[in-house]
Structure 1
C-alpha cells in the first residue's frame, strides 16, 4: 500500500492524552549466569515501548462514533451516507478481519495478521455495494484508518522510552523491532521520538533490516517466522549470534517463549499491569522463564552494562 496522508495528522497526535503505567508487584531480575555479552537489543512495541489504554493492539475499544469521526477526518461526505453506514462498517471490520485470518490460515499461516488497509478497503467497498455510501475517490482512507486507531486505542510512550533508546544507540548497539503492528505504528512511534509527523515506514533509531512488522508478513507473534526473518541479517551483517541479543517484551507467550525458540535471550517487561500478559494457564508457557525481568525501561542500563 502507498501511505498517503492528506489530513493534518499531527494535530490528532498532538491531542493524545498522557497515560501513566499501572504498577505491578513484580521485582526486577537484572542478573544472569550467561557469560555471553549482549550486543543487540530487539523490542516489542505495544505494552513495552508504548502504553496502550486497551493493553494490547488487538483489544481496541471500537465504536461507530469513532468511525464517524474518522470518516470526517478522511474527507467523507457523511451527509450523502445512508443511516446505519457507520454501524455497518463497524460490523464489517470484524467480518473482514475474520475473513482475512481464515484465508491466511489456509495458506499455512498459523498465527495470521491482517493488512488493516486491505480490511478497510474491503469494508468501504462492501458498504458501497450495499448502497450505504458513494465513494468519490477524493477520500483519504489512510487518514480515516489512523484517526480511528488513535481514537480507539489510545497510546503514549512508556516512561523513559526515548531516553533508553538514545542511551542504547549511543552505546553503539544495534536495535530492532518485532511487533504485531500496522502501517500506522511507525508513524506514531516517530511522532513520539521526534515530535513531528512523518509518513515513513521505518522507525528512527532502529535498524531497518532488524525490524519486522506483522502486517508486512501477514503473520503475528507467536509465529517464530517473524524472528527468523531478521536473524540471518543479525549474523551476516552485524556478526551477532541470537544468544548475544535480547528481546524485550510484555507477553510471556508472544514475546518470551517465541524469542527463546529463536535462540534469543529474553527480558520480560512487567512495568504496566494493563498490558502484562503472563499466560499462566497456557501450557506453552509453563516451565519457561525469562532471562531478565524489568519493571522500568531504564533498568535495561543495568542489564547492558
Structure 2
C-alpha cells in the first residue's frame, strides 16, 4: 500500500479523509445479542466496512445514486473543475460501467469474485469523460486524491464505538488480530486517519492484513478466507477452528468464514450495515457462532 505512494501523498490522502469524514453513532437494530463461550480462539479477524467502520449510507439508500452524483460534483470541484449534475450522473454511470466490464473480464479468466483496481477504473473513466468533452484539464496524477475525495464524501466513514478498547483487550490476551476486507488503497488509510495510529499500533498484526485490492479477490469468495487460513496454519500453527471472524454481512462475512472453518460472529450493531441476506440460499442453513451488538461483547465470549 505505502510502496505505491510517497509519504507526502499518504499524508494528503489522510488529511482528505479526516476533513470529509462525519462523526456519527450507530443506529440501533433491535437485534438481541446471542453470546456464548468460544474456546481456544487464538486469532480474531475483522471485516472493516460496517463492522469496525460506520458507513454513512442510510438504510434503503444503498444504491445511493443521488449521493454519488453529489459526491462526484463536490470531488471534482475540490480540484477546480465545475461539473453540472447531468455530467456528474454520466460520470457515475461510466464508473459503474467500467467496474462491471472489469468484473466480467476477470470472471471469464476464472476468478469467482474478482476485485478491481479502483485507480485504473477512475483513470479510464476520466479519459472517457475528456474524450466526450464533458470535462477537461484534469491532472491524472491527482486521480488517487480524487478517488479519496469521492469515496470519503459518499461513505462518510467513522469509527465504530469501542473499537480500540476491544482491540486492546484482545491483544492483552495474546490473540493475534487481523483483517479480511473488501477494500481499496484508501481503506487502511481511513483506519489510520481516523485513529491517528498505524494499523500495527491499533493492534493488527502486519502479516495478517488481507485486503481485496492486494489479493485481487473479493468477498464472498471462500478462497479469500482460505488465503488467510493458510497463512495462519503455516506461519503461526493456528487452525481454522481457532480463528474467530467478525463481520456484519451473512453472505460476505459469515458464510465464507464458516466455509473456511472459522468460528463466526455476526456484528448486528448498526442498522446501516446489518445484512442478514435471508433470501440467499447460501445463508439459509448457517448460523453465526455468536451475534453481537457492540464490539466490546467479543472479549466477553472468549476464555
**What is the TM-score with the length of structure 1 in the denominator?**
0.87
Paired residues for 1:19-58 under 5 Å? 19-32=24-37, 36-54=39-57
Return the alpha-carbon distance in structure 1 between the equivalents of residues 63 and 192 of structure 2.
Answer: 22
**Which secondary structure does the structure 2 equivalent of 1:177 belong to?**
strand
**Which secondary structure does the structure 2 equivalent of 1:247 belong to?**
strand
The C-alpha deviation readout for 1:149-207, integer Å capped at 9, x for no partner, is: 11111111111011111222222211111111111110111122226xx8xx9885212
Q: How large is the Cα RMSD of the aligned pairs?
A: 2.7
Return the alpha-carbon distance in structure 2 between the equivalents of residues 202 and 140 of structure 1.
Answer: 28
Q: Paired residue for 1:189, among 182, 188, 191?
A: 191
The C-alpha deviation readout for 1:219-253, integer Å capped at 9, x for no partner, is: 22110121111212211221211100100011111
Aligned residue number for residue 256 of structure 1? 254
Conserved? CA contact 1:16–1:155, under 8 Å: yes
Return the alpha-carbon distance in structure 2 between the equivalents of residues 242 and 123 of structure 1.
Answer: 41
Return the alpha-carbon distance in structure 2 between the equivalents of residues 136 and 25 of structure 1.
Answer: 47
Per-residue deviation, 1:212: 1.2
Paired residues for 1:235-246 under 5 Å? 235-246=233-244
Conserved? CA contact 1:190–1:203, under 8 Å: no
- Count of aligned positions: 296
Return the alpha-carbon distance in structure 1 between the equivalents of residues 85 and 271 of structure 2.
Answer: 40
Please list every run of 5 or more consecutive structure 2 residues that lacks an aligned counterpart in the other structure: none
Return the alpha-carbon distance in structure 1 between the equivalents of residues 146 and 183 of structure 2.
Answer: 17
Conserved? CA contact 2:167–2:202, under 8 Å: no
Per-residue deviation, 1:86: 3.2
Per-residue deviation, 1:304: 2.0
Q: Paired residue for 1:141, among 123, 127, 143?
A: 143
**Which secondary structure does the structure 2 equivalent of 1:284 belong to?**
helix
Return the alpha-carbon distance in structure 1 between the equivalents of residues 16 and 182 of structure 2.
Answer: 25
Conserved? CA contact 1:111–1:223, under 8 Å: yes
Return the alpha-carbon distance in structure 2 between the equivalents of residues 244 and 100 of structure 1.
Answer: 36
Conserved? CA contact 1:249–1:256, under 8 Å: yes
Return the alpha-carbon distance in structure 2 between the equivalents of residues 53 and 112 of structure 1.
Answer: 25
Return the alpha-carbon distance in structure 2 between the equivalents of residues 227 and 276 of structure 1.
Answer: 20
Are the structure 2 counterparts of residues 156 and 122 from structure 1 closer, same or farther at C-alpha, using a change threshold of 3 Å? same
* Higher relative helix content: 2
Are the structure 2 counterparts of residues 290 and 64 from structure 1 closer, same or farther at C-alpha, using a change threshold of 3 Å? closer
